[in-house]
């Protein structure tokens, strides 16, 4: 947590859709300033229903392991930045991607056996 750059620490799970937003100061007060983000992710994964469970001292493997992660670790944009301060983004495409103005010619279907 010593080098985490944002005020809000977000945790999420891709399997069970659980999420949590906690302020960095609250985590530092509760777990200490020397706690790592990896250890906090492990603590978040303990509540996931997809985590491996221990039975008789052995770990029972599952098909879908817990997908708990911290989505802001590789991101350069702060998670608590308002959208109005993010700036404009360029969308690919342009005039060539527009639909034609004229509708396509209507093709009348004929029934089978219709001689008209």
Q: Mind listing the pLDDT tens digit for each residue in 55-113?
A: 555 555 555 677 888 888 887 777 777 878 877 777 777 666 666 677 777 777 777 77
Is the pLDDT reported for residue 29 higher than 70? yes
What is the average per-residue pLDDT within 17-33? 90
**How many other CB atoms sit within 10 Å of the CB of residue 56?**
5
3-state DSSP of 40-109:
HHHHHHCCCCCCCEEECCEEECCCCCCCEECCCCCCCCCCCCCHHHCCCCCCCCCHHHCCCCCCCCCCCC
Q: What is the count of structural domains for the chain?
A: 1
80 belongs to a structural domain:
yes
83 belongs to a structural domain:
yes
27 belongs to a structural domain:
yes
d(C-alpha 68, C-alpha 47), whole Å: 10
114 belongs to a structural domain:
no
54 belongs to a structural domain:
yes
Q: Does the global pTM surpass 0.85?
A: no
d(C-alpha 11, C-alpha 71), whole Å: 7
106 belongs to a structural domain:
no
101 belongs to a structural domain:
no
107 belongs to a structural domain:
no
Write out the residue range of the structural domain in which residue 64 sits.
8-95
């Amino acid at each position: 947590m010593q080098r985490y750059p944002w005020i809000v620490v977000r945790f999420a799970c891709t399997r069970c859709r659980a999420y949590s937003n906690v302020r960095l100061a609250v985590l530092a007060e509760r777990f200490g300033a020397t706690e790592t983000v990896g250890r906090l992710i492990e603590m978040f994964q303990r509540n996931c229903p997809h985590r491996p469970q221990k039975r008789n001292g052995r770990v029972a493997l599952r098909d879908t392991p817990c997908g708990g992660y911290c989505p802001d670790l590789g991101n350069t944009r702060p998670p608590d930045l308002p959208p109005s301060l993010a700036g404009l983004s360029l969308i690919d495409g342009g005039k060539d991607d527009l639909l034609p103005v004229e509708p396509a010619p209507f093709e009348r279907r004929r029934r089978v056996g219709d001689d008209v």
